[in-house]
Structure 1
Amino acid sequence: MQDDRLDGVLFDHLMLEGEQKAHISNYTDLTALLTSADLKWEVPHDMVEWIWIHMAINAGVTSTAARSGNLENPEQLALNLMNSSSELSLVIKTIREALKVVEARGVNLKLYKAELLPYKIPAWIAGKAMKIMFAKNELTRKIMTLHNDKQDIFYCCQSVYQTGQELGVKMPILEANMKGISI
């Protein structure tokens, strides 16, 4: 936000808390506004759980991208990651560890089965598939390079990692990644 102006990107699909949990009086107006703007929304089982799942996924991706260096150039780290199927395979393994942290928080991951399915296939296959996806899908590639706020990246990784430590989750890959990160 600069000069009372929010500069950002809004995709055509977003996540929205369910009406019963949102506790806002104009929920119907909000969904009507989204519809009028041709925006689609999805209501997850639980928004806070969904956020934790996505923090775990982001921690897996960004800690792997940054593990061999500092976060001074997050865009270049993302580009390097997207061009390496072996690094992307490691991302899958790291995400699996980070999801164990989410599960240890009490989240029933079975409720998010469809969303987590890509992380269940063998890591070497997933790494190759992700490399192809990033090479062919410009929007997905752009999302990876635009997520470059160093403090945000580090906060996400650190939050998942510290929670895992507090809950006694074994996460050797994530731990090794975190030891390699400097900001």
Structure 2
Amino acid sequence: MRILFFGRGVISTQYAWAFEQAGHTVEFYVRKGRKETFGSNIELEMWDARRGKKFIKETWNVKLHEELSPNYDLIIVSVNTEQLPGAAQILSTVAGTTPVLIFNNVWQDLKSSISPLPVNNVVFGFPAGGGGIADNRLRGGFLKMIFLEKPRAGTEHINNKVKECFESAHFKISWVTDMENWLWNHFAMNAAMETEVLRCGSFPALMNDRDSFVNVGKNMREIIPVLKARGAKPGAISLLLTKIPPVLLGILFKKVIYATGSLPRLFVEYNNSKAGFAVLEVVREAQKAGIPLPRLTVAFENTE
């Protein structure tokens, strides 16, 4: 397949590399001026956990474009949540009938989030990876699993194309029945964690703060009413974050999920992105519904 990645961020770069390794042609669309800034290669220092745990260290040559054309078999969009409306607007003018995979966080209803792209030309998914880019060096990695919405009426052919693409690169797909609800829960969990990033000062600091994961559970308890108010059902992980006593939750995070040396911990430690957008969006939603969020509000106001 000839695949275009919208943006050359952490997720786009890592999965593009994996697809190229599987024999696909991959290219990137970047904003004007970025082609010169980024250059024709990027330094990779990342973990590939599709078949075992393999460390990749190489200089990878990439092909960047500042203009878009419809001459692709698949377009994959992985951008910051706040950039998604702009990306959808751009793609609506040039994508034509090319299938589009939206591969990132979403907080709006799915149809509105990609307007004016036709929803039947779009499939939603989510990666299992992370990291950061600094000085043209990417540090991070990805796991074997990716999340993909089950076909909606009219999207079966797109889902099949995306499925074939990922499976050809040895990824395993976890099918999600209600993707909108899944993404809203994931966004809420991001907000709960970003609240602690704002308090600690950075993602690496979050990993080393004694109270951070105890507080993540407390933050999530505040957010659950916001999810319910917008019609979402708390997912299994959201409920886990609220049902387990905060102290035990802190131990679970530190000793198991983000244990020292684990890939999930490394992905967070390498994350150098700016936190706060997810917190702001959840706070705004809570204000509309008249739901108090004292923990999130204080954390956000202290950073303004």
TM-score, with structure 1 as normaliser: 0.79
Distance 1:169 1:22 in 2: 38
Corresponding residue of 2:220: 95
- How far apart, in 2, do the equivalents of 1:147 and 1:22 lie? 37
If each structure's helix is expressed as a fraction of its own residues, which one has the higher value?
1
SS at the partner of 2:276? Answer: helix
Unaligned runs of 5+ residues in structure 2 are: 1-7, 9-29, 36-63, 66-77, 79-137
CA–CA separation in structure 1 for the residues paired with 2:163 and 2:223: 32
Distance change (3 Å), C-alpha of 1:137 and 1:168: farther
Using the alignment, how far apart are the partners of 2:273 and 2:211 within structure 1? 25
**Structure 2 counterpart of 1:136, one-letter code:** T
Larger Rg: 2
CA distance in 2, matches of 1:117, 1:108: 10
What is the CA RMSD across the aligned residues, in angstroms?
A: 2.5
1:24 and 1:148 map into 2 onto residues whose CA distance is: 37
* Equivalent in the alignment of 2:92: none
Residues 1:142 and 2:274 are matched in the alignment: no
Determine the structure 1 residue equivalent to 2:300: 178
Q: Which has the higher contact order (CA 8 A, sep 6+)?
A: 1
Amino acid at match of 2:168: S
- Structure 2 counterpart of 1:11, from 131, 143, 148: 143
Residues in 2 aligned to 1:43 and 1:129: alpha-carbon distance in whole angstroms: 26
Asked if the contact 1:67–1:179 (Cα under 8 Å) also holds between the matched residues in 2, the reply is no
Is the 2:184–2:227 Cα contact (8 Å) retained in structure 1? yes
In 1, distance between residues paired with 2:195 and 2:153? 32
Q: Distance in 1 between matches of 2:147 and 2:154?
A: 12
Alpha-carbon separation, structure 1, partners of 2:277 and 2:211: 25
| Counterparts in 2 of 1:162 and 1:28: CA distance versus 1, 3 Å | same
The Cα of 1:138 is off from its aligned counterpart by 2.4
Contact 1:68/1:180 (<8 A) preserved: no
Structure 1 residue 21 displacement after superposition: 5.6
Residue in structure 2 matched with residue 41 of structure 1 by the alignment:
173
Closer, same or farther: CA 83–161 of 1 in aligned 2, 3 Å? same
- Could you tell me which amino acid in structure 2 is paired with residue 84 of structure 1? D
CA contact (8 A) 1:88 1:127 kept: yes
Q: For this pair of structures, how many residues does the alignment match? A: 170
Pick closer, same or farther for the CA change 1:51–1:26 going to 2, 3 Å. Answer: closer
User: Is residue 207–residue 269 contact of structure 2 (8 Å, CA) maintained in 1?
Assistant: no
Match of 2:278 among 156, 168, 171: 156
Shift of 1:22: 7.1
Aligned to 1:168: 290
Contact 2:204 2:270 in 1 (8 A): no
Between Structure 1 and Structure 2, the one with more strand by share is: 2
2:298 aligned partner, one-letter code? A
Measured after TM superposition, the shift of residue 163 of structure 1 is 0.7
Out of 77-86 and 87-96, give the one that drifted further: 77-86
Aligned partners of 2:299 and 2:191: how far apart in 1?
10
Q: Which stretch of structure 1 is more off in the superposition, 167-176 or 131-140? A: 131-140
User: What do the CA deviations read for 1:52-101 (whole angstroms, capped 9, x no partner)?
Assistant: 111111111111221365xxxxxxx2222222342210111102212321
> Which sections of structure 1, spanning at least 5 residues, go unmatched?
70-76
1:85–1:130 Cα contact (<8 Å) kept: no
2:213 alignment partner AA: L
